[in-house]
Amino acid sequence: MMKKRKLIWHIYPAFLVIALAVLLAVTWCASHSFRIFYYNQVVSSLEAKARLVEYQIKPIIISGNFPEIDNICKALGKTVSTRITVILPDGLVIGDSDENPILMKNHSDRPEIKEAISGDTGKSLRFSDTLGKNMMYWAVSIKQADKILAVIRTSVPVAIIDNELARLYKKILWTGLIITVCAAAVSWIVSKRLSRPIEQMTKAAQGFASGQISQRLPIPDSAELAELAKVLNEMEEVRRDFVANVSHELKTPITSIKGFVETLQEGAIDKPEEAKRFLEIIAKHTDRLNLIVDDLLSLSRLEEDSEKRKLAFETVLLKPVIISAVELSKIKAESKNIKNDIACDEKLTAKINSTLIEQAVLNLIDNAVKYSPEGGKIKINVKKSDGKIEIIVADTGCGIDKEHLDRIFERFYVVDKARSRKLGGTGLGLAIVKHIAQVHGGGVSVESTVGKGCVFTIFLPQN
Angstrom distance (rounded) from CA 86 to CA 92: 9
pLDDT digits (tens, 9 = 90+) for 383-426: 988 888 999 999 988 888 888 888 888 877 766 655 555 555 66
Closest CA to 135 of 152, 117, 112: 112
In a domain, 90, yes or no: yes
pLDDT at 271: 76
pLDDT at 19: 74
Domain with 322 in it? 314-461
Q: Please indicate, yes or no, whether residues 357 and 275 belong to a single structural domain of this protein.
A: no
Q: Please indicate, yes or no, whether residues 253 and 353 belong to a single structural domain of this protein.
A: no
Strands ordered across the beta sheet of 377-385: 339-344, 377-385, 388-394, 453-461, 443-449
Query: How far is CA 268 from its chain centroid?
Result: 69
Angstrom distance (rounded) from CA 60 to CA 385: 103
Q: Please indicate, yes or no, whether residues 284 and 413 belong to a single structural domain of this protein.
A: no
H or E stretch at 200: helix 158-209
pLDDT digits (tens, 9 = 90+) for 326-340: 998 888 888 899 888
Q: Which of 252, 283, 308 is the C-terminal boundary of a domain?
A: 308
Question: Of the segments 16-25, 130-139, 237-246, which one has the largest average pLDDT value?
Answer: 130-139
- Calculate mean pLDDT across residues 262-267: 78
Helix 318-328 × helix 354-371 angle, to 10° = 40
Q: Please indicate, yes or no, whether residues 348 and 432 belong to a single structural domain of this protein.
A: yes
What is the CB-side half-sphere exposure of residue 292 using CA atoms within 13 A? 23
Q: Please indicate, yes or no, whether residues 241 and 320 belong to a single structural domain of this protein.
A: no
In a domain, 184, yes or no: no
pLDDT at 308: 47
Cβ contacts of residue 125 below 8 Å, gap of 6+?
A: 134, 135, 136, 137, 158
Give the domain CATH number at 359.
3.30.565.10
- Calculate mean pLDDT across residues 98-112: 90
Q: Please indicate, yes or no, whether residues 260 and 366 belong to a single structural domain of this protein.
A: no
Give the domain CATH number at 112.
3.30.450.20
pLDDT at 455: 93
Buried b (16+ CB within 10 A) or exposed e, 119-128: eeebbbeeeb
Domain count, the chain: 3
- Calculate mean pLDDT across residues 13-24: 76
pLDDT at 317: 92
Q: Please indicate, yes or no, whether residues 354 and 270 belong to a single structural domain of this protein.
A: no
Whether the Cβ atoms of residue 179 and residue 27 lie closer than 8 Å to each other: no
**Which pairing describes strands 133-144 and 147-157: parallel, antiparallel, or unpaired?**
antiparallel
Give the domain CATH number at 273.
1.10.287.130
Model confidence, pTM: 0.49
Q: For 333-410, where are the E strands, in sequence order?
A: 339-344, 349-352, 377-385, 388-394
Taking the CB of residue 359, how many other CB atoms lie within 10 A of it? Answer: 19
In a domain, 394, yes or no: yes
For Cα atoms 96, 101, 105, give the angle at the middle one, nearest 5 degrees.
Answer: 115
Q: Which of 308, 337, 352 is the C-terminal boundary of a domain?
A: 308
In a domain, 214, yes or no: no
- Calculate mean pLDDT across residues 241-246: 62
pLDDT at 392: 93
Q: Please indicate, yes or no, whether residues 413 and 272 belong to a single structural domain of this protein.
A: no
Question: 264 in the Ramachandran plot: left (φ > 0), alpha (ψ -120 to 50) or beta?
Answer: alpha
In a domain, 134, yes or no: yes
pLDDT at 394: 92
